[in-house]
Amino acid sequence: MGFMALPELGQDKGYLSETVFTSIFLSFLLWSFHPFVYHSKRFYTVLLWRRVLAFLVASQFLRIITFYSTQLPGPNYHCREGSKLATLPPPKNVREVLLINFPRGVLFGCGDLIFSSHMIFTLVFVRTYHKYGSKRLIKLFAWLMAIIQSLLIIASRKHYTVDVVVAW
């Protein structure tokens, strides 16, 4: 449904979702370490990161389970029929098997969809700021950025709508 509702961004604007994700990630990273700069004790950075990382590990474990139990064709341009990047070349040695053709397989991988890892990271960061942050306007802006990130992921055809919905 998302593909029908949102126009495709295309290869030239596919970076937009990555830019939004990077800005959310870096903002959260800077905010989480601000007690060291401003010497405020609203939260303890180590405990915050311990909770965030524990949740991310649990989420990635669930993602692995859904990844192995579902199979959808990749929606991105490089996964479509006729693309030279749609299939990875067979591995030539053990190192390539273990690294899954790194970095080409990471950049041009197809099929690791349900659910969106970008959305999980975004939602964990936004939810953490919502709980521990103090600025109401920034909280609202963070949720708006999460919604925009969701739409951009679908519009750039990096994930199907179901991948983003399951992550939410």
Q: Does residue 83 lie within any of the structural domains?
A: no
Q: Count of CB atoms within 10 A of residue 114's CB?
A: 21
Q: Does residue 74 lie within any of the structural domains?
A: yes
Q: Does residue 17 lie within any of the structural domains?
A: yes
Residues 50-72 have a mean pLDDT of 85
Q: Does residue 100 lie within any of the structural domains?
A: no
pTM of the model: 0.77
Distance of CA 50 to the CA centre of its chain: 19
Q: Is 163 in the active site?
A: yes
pLDDT tens digit string along 15-28? 788 889 899 999 99
Residues 85-94 have a mean pLDDT of 67
Q: Does residue 153 lie within any of the structural domains?
A: yes
Q: Does residue 156 lie within any of the structural domains?
A: yes
Q: What's residue 89's pLDDT?
A: 65
- DSSP labels for the chain? -HHHHS----GGGTHHHHHHHHHHHHHHHHHHTHHHHH---SS-HHHHHHHHHHHHHHHHHHHHHHHHH------SGGGSTT-TTSSPPPP-SHHHHHHTSTTHHHHS--S--SS-HHHHHHHHHHHHHHHH---HHHHHHHHHHHHHHHHHHHHTTSS-HHHHHHH-
Q: Which residues contact 164 (CB under 8 A, 6 or more apart)?
A: 2, 115, 116, 119, 150, 153, 154
Q: In this prediction, what percent of the chain has a pLDDT beyond 70? A: 76
Residues 79-98 have a mean pLDDT of 66
**Torsion, Cα of 128, 129, 130, 136 (10° steps):** 180
Q: What's residue 131's pLDDT?
A: 92
The total of structural domains in the chain comes to: 1
Q: Does residue 94 lie within any of the structural domains?
A: no
Q: Is 39 in the active site?
A: no
Please give the residue range of the domain that contains residue 139. Answer: 13-32+44-78+108-167
pLDDT tens digit string along 120-160? 999 999 999 999 888 899 999 999 999 999 998 888 877 77
Q: What's residue 76's pLDDT?
A: 64
Name the amino acid, one letter, at 79: C
Q: Cα 51–56–59 angle (5° rounding)? A: 125
Q: Does residue 4 lie within any of the structural domains?
A: no
Q: Is 159 in the active site?
A: yes
Q: State yes or no: pLDDT of 78 exceeds 70.
A: no
